[in-house]
Amino acid sequence: MAPRIALVTTRELAAPDADELLLLPHLPEASLVAWDDPSVDWAAFDVAILRSTWNYHDDVATFLAWARRASSVTRLLNPVATVEWNTDKRYLADLAAAGFPVVPTTFVAPGTEVPDDAVVALDGHLVVKPSVGAGSNGALLFDGDAAGALAHVRALHAQGKVAMLQPYLAEVDTAGETALVYLGGRFSHAARKGAILSREMSFDSGLYAEEEIDPTVPTASEREVGDRLVAALPSLGHPGLAYVRVDLLPTAAGPVVLELELTEPSLFLGLDPDAPSRAAAAFRALL
């Protein structure tokens, strides 16, 4: 069967992602294709589904320019307008404005200083990271180190990046982070991710941090937030998505959104024996 679906990856990934290895046997219509391979004829595919494009943040302008070109000759999923919105975590402000619980965040653009009314003081327990980034690249944890936190903000600014300040939510150290995976608009499965910033991080691949991932059953409150958010995405301007991953952190007041992954998330297909076939069916339905 001639490949009709491009599962979009990058030439920098030395071996196929685990999700892709599980998905391909269920999806003979698909082949792995690198976004940064200039020889690819994207018009040869009916659908191009972003998967392991994990180096996009190194040159997001070039990546978005490619996405616009590809979407002009094939159906890019998730859609380019969604990708443009989702690759900059300032979308969290849009989610908060729409009434969703999100991790309190202060964005500090280059050329500006950390405001006095930032959601967390520089000498508090906080995370400082770029608004454009994959995984935990560029994210650092500080506790009582105002000088270090400010130095990291300035280092991000020197790279032309918007810095984000968020309070470190200590509940993650015991409860972990929950990732809800939706395929074709329907809930599929969930993962529990161990705290990553409170321990030594490993970027063995050069593209992402090694994480501790286990299957989990989300709580009713986690499902309520995730389901409500996925249902609202069309009204927020993001219809027809192939996949959604909602990353939640626990708090005493209930779960809050850490990230809404619509561009290139790991889908943790290995955590559920039926997830690869569900993903294949959802992607096949896009043809």
Read off the pLDDT of residues 229-245 as tens digits, 9 standing for 90 and up: 999 999 999 999 999 99
Concerning whether 228 is annotated as a catalytic residue, the answer is no
Note whether residue 73 is domain-resident.
no
Q: Are residues 176 and 262 in the same domain?
A: yes
Among 222, 245, 259, 278, which one carries the catalytic annotation? 245
Among 223, 259, 264, 278, which one carries the catalytic annotation? 223
Domain that holds residue 154: 106-167
Q: Are residues 227 and 180 in the same domain?
A: yes
Note whether residue 93 is domain-resident.
no
Q: Are residues 210 and 243 in the same domain?
A: yes
Question: Residue 166: is its pLDDT beyond 90?
Answer: yes
Rounded distance between C-alpha atoms, residue 123 and residue 196, angstroms: 21
Q: How many CB atoms lie within 10 A of CB 147?
A: 10
Note whether residue 37 is domain-resident.
no
Note whether residue 95 is domain-resident.
no
Note whether residue 43 is domain-resident.
no
Question: Residue 272: is its pLDDT beyond 50?
Answer: yes
Q: Are residues 259 and 175 in the same domain?
A: yes
Concerning whether 210 is annotated as a catalytic residue, the answer is no
Q: Are residues 157 and 204 in the same domain?
A: no
Which value, in Å, is the radius of gyration of the alpha carbons in the chain? 19
Q: How many CB atoms lie within 10 A of CB 277?
A: 16
Concerning whether 192 is annotated as a catalytic residue, the answer is no
Note whether residue 135 is domain-resident.
yes
pLDDT digits (tens, 9 = 90+) for 128-142: 999 998 767 789 999
Residue spans of beta strands (DSSP E) within 72-195: 75-77, 106-108, 125-130, 140-143, 163-167, 177-183, 186-193
Q: How many CB atoms lie within 10 A of CB 66?
A: 21
Q: Into how many domains does the chain fold? A: 2
Note whether residue 115 is domain-resident.
yes
Going by pLDDT thresholds of 50, 70 and 90, the confidence category of residue 217 is very high
Rounded distance between C-alpha atoms, residue 165 and residue 260, angstroms: 17
pLDDT digits (tens, 9 = 90+) for 33-60: 999 999 999 999 999 999 999 999 999 9
Domain at 118, CATH number: 3.30.1490
Q: Answer whether 276's CB lies under 8 Å from 269's CB.
A: yes
Instruction: Record the pTM.
Output: 0.92
Q: Are residues 132 and 188 in the same domain?
A: no
